[in-house]
């Protein structure tokens, strides 16, 4: 299994269901292949990891990061000046110079700080992603693996129409089942971050 896999062999076998070990090698390969396919389709990394971005300042107090959800920020500099983390707001904290704070998707500057206009003048070192694969995304991955596995084994997956008298069967060949697609759309990165 790869550390970037979005599911496990046991989870897949429980979903299909498969109780023997005859196809473990095939299923293990499908776990890695489908996980790669899903991450590529999502256009993002899911696992929590560190990133360093060098960005152009736009003169705003807010900047979206290329990866999300943001888990922590190790360092932020604008024009070579280190921006401190803003202290928690409360009594007596309004007279400070400000600093940065963040949520799952963006960094926010307050006080005398801004993402000053410039080329490649903002450096952000941060960690983003999920500590563990979201359960719904794992389920979507299991659905795709089951579909690909059953197609490989000759099962009637994706039957669109079947006629008993004329003995004709029409199959729909899709790489992503509809239910899995609905789940995956929640996680897809669709707009490039400027």
The residue ranges of every structural domain in the chain are 9-46+132-185, 49-128
Coil, strand or helix at 45: coil
Mean per-residue pLDDT, 105-127: 95
Most confident range (mean pLDDT) of 38-52, 85-99, 149-163, 172-186 is 38-52
Q: Is the pLDDT of residue 151 over 90?
A: no
What are the C-alpha distances in Å from 68 to residues 44, 118, 137, 156, 188? 9, 24, 15, 38, 11
- Give the confidence band of 157 by pLDDT, cuts at 50, 70, 90: very low
Q: Which residues contact 74 (CB under 8 A, 6 or more apart)?
A: 50, 125, 126, 127
Mean per-residue pLDDT, 82-105: 81
Mean per-residue pLDDT, 174-189: 90
Which residue in 51, 52, 55, 62 sits closest to 101, CA to CA? 62
What are the C-alpha distances in Å from 84 to residues 12, 92, 111, 143? 45, 18, 11, 45
Please give the distance of CA 151 from its chain centroid, rounded to a whole number: 27
Q: Is the pLDDT of residue 162 over 90?
A: no
What is the sign, positive or negative, of the torsion defined by CA atoms of 48, 49, 52, 55?
negative
Which residue in 6, 14, 35, 12 sits closest to 25, CA to CA? 12
CB 60 within 8 A of CB 28: no
- Give the confidence band of 88 by pLDDT, cuts at 50, 70, 90: confident
Which residue in 86, 119, 121 sits closest to 100, CA to CA? 86
pLDDT digits (tens, 9 = 90+) for 10-55: 999 999 999 999 999 999 999 999 999 999 999 988 999 999 999 9
Which single residue is written with the structure tokens 């006629």? 163
Q: CA angle, 4 as apex, 51 and 70 as ends, to 5°?
A: 35
Packing angle between helix 135-152 and helix 24-42, nearest 10 degrees?
130
Q: Per mean pLDDT, which range of 40-54, 90-104, 155-169 is the poorest?
A: 155-169
- What pLDDT sits at residue 66? 92
């Amino acid at each position: 299994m790869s550390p970037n896999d979005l599911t496990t062999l046991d989870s897949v076998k429980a979903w299909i269901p498969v109780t023997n070990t005859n196809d473990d090698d095939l299923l293990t390969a499908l776990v890695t292949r489908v996980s790669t396919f899903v991450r590529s389709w999502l256009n993002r990394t899911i696992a929590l990891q560190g990133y360093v971005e060098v960005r152009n300042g736009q003169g705003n107090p807010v900047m979206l990061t290329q990866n999300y959800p943001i888990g922590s920020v190790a360092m932020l500099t604008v024009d070579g000046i280190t921006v401190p983390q803003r202290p928690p707001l409360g009594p007596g904290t309004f007279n400070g110079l400000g600093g940065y704070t963040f949520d799952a998707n963006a960094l926010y500057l307050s006080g005398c700080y801004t993402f000053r206009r410039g080329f490649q003048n903002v450096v952000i070192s941060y960690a983003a992603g999920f500590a563990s694969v979201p359960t719904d995304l794992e389920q979507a991955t299991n659905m795709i693996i089951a579909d690909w596995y059953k197609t490989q084994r000759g099962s009637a997956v994706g039957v669109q129409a079947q006629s008993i008298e004329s003995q004709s069967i029409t199959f729909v060949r899709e790489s992503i089942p509809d239910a899995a697609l609905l789940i995956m759309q929640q996680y897809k990165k669709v707009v490039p971050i400027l």
